[in-house]
Structure formats: structure tokens, C-alpha cells
Amino acid sequence: MTVVVNKKRPLEPLDYFPSGLVLPAVPLAVQEPNALLRGDTAAAVQDLFAAAADDGVGLTLVSGYRSYQDQVSTYEHWVAQNGGDTTAADRISARAGFSEHQTGLAFDVGQDDGACTLSPCFADTAAGQWMAANAHRFGFILRYPDGAEGITGFSGEAWHYRYVGPDVAQAMRAEGTGTLEEYFGLPAAPGY
């Protein structure tokens, strides 16, 4: 649950497949295979979504588990979108074997009306603000905060959350620690 996957710390093996993937019972903005999560993560996502709904905030799961091959395709898409520039693609997409989505512990969240999905403006939506204020209570951290690209290697992604369990998430929040690299005393991973 506390594995750190970044540009310097690939999964072992690169084509790692987590066991026990399940579909959380939450609103989905994606087809089922791309919404699967590890069992512990899915249970926490369900609790998180229920608490948000109790507060009048509608969330949707935009992306969950991605296989090695899915991440190959995702990365290639971003390379093509950036005119073949891998440096630009590396700021916004992990290479296969280096993606948190491949662990089944990470998910992208959106607002239920689709406002600002996978866009920086998500941080300003009711869903983005609720997640920023409450995700830690359920064991989640915002994995790629704005301004931490030199540490995480990725541009800020207000929608990308990672399950680390309540103890770590709440400790990071209490200490004001922004990244897993800092929390665990690991070297920054700005590039491969």
C-alpha cells in the first residue's frame, strides 16, 4: 500500500499486475475494466464517495487501474499529442511500468457533471475543493500537487489521488508533507 512508484522507482516486474481488483460501487465516467481498483482502495473510494454525497458533492471515478499495455497506449497517445516530444509527454503521463495506475492504488476523480474533467480547473470545482479538504480522512493523498514537479516529475494533477491508508495520509496532512517522496525521505524523481 505504501509503494512509491515514480520515474526513478519502476514497478517490479515492469508488467506488474495487482491481484484482487474489484469494481467499486460508485458513479463511473469510464468503462468497467478501466475503473477497477485493489479491494482496499475500492472500499475506501466507496466510503469517500458516500461522504462527499452526504455533503452534497457529486463525484465520479474517471480512471482506475491501467494494465502495462494500456499505459503503453496512454503514453504513446500523449507523445503523439505533443508532436513526438517525449519530454513534454513525460510531464503529464507515466511510461508503462512507472505508473501508479498500474498498482490499482490510484484513481482519477471528477465532478459528476463533468466540469473540468482531467483539467487544472478541477481544483476550483466543488468536487476538487471537497477532495482537497477531505481525501486524507479516507486514506488518500493528492499525488501530484501543483509546484511539486521537481520532486514528483509530473505537472500538478488536482484529480489524481493515491491510496496510502489513513495512517500515512493523515500523518502527511498533519505534517504538511506534500509528496510521498518527501514523506519517505526518497530522492526527487524529476526525470527517468
| CA pair distance 48, 138, nearest whole angstrom | 6
Q: Is 167 exposed, middle or buried (0-12, 13-18, 19+ CB in 10 A)?
A: exposed
Q: How far is CA 131 from the centre of its chain?
A: 12
Residue 69 per-residue DSSP state: H
Strand 140-144's sheet: what is its strand order? 59-63, 106-111, 157-163, 140-144
Instruction: Count CB neighbours of 55 within 10 A.
Output: 11
| CA pair distance 180, 164, nearest whole angstrom | 9
* Grid cell at residue 152: 514528483
Note if 181 is an active site residue. no
Are the C-beta atoms of residues 97 and 68 closer than 8 Å to each other? Answer: yes
Collapse the DSSP code of 76 into the 3-class scheme (helix H, G, I; strand E, B; otherwise coil) and give the result. Answer: helix
Catalytic residue among 76, 100, 149, 157: 157
Are the C-beta atoms of residues 109 and 60 closer than 8 Å to each other? Answer: yes
Residues serving a catalytic function are 157
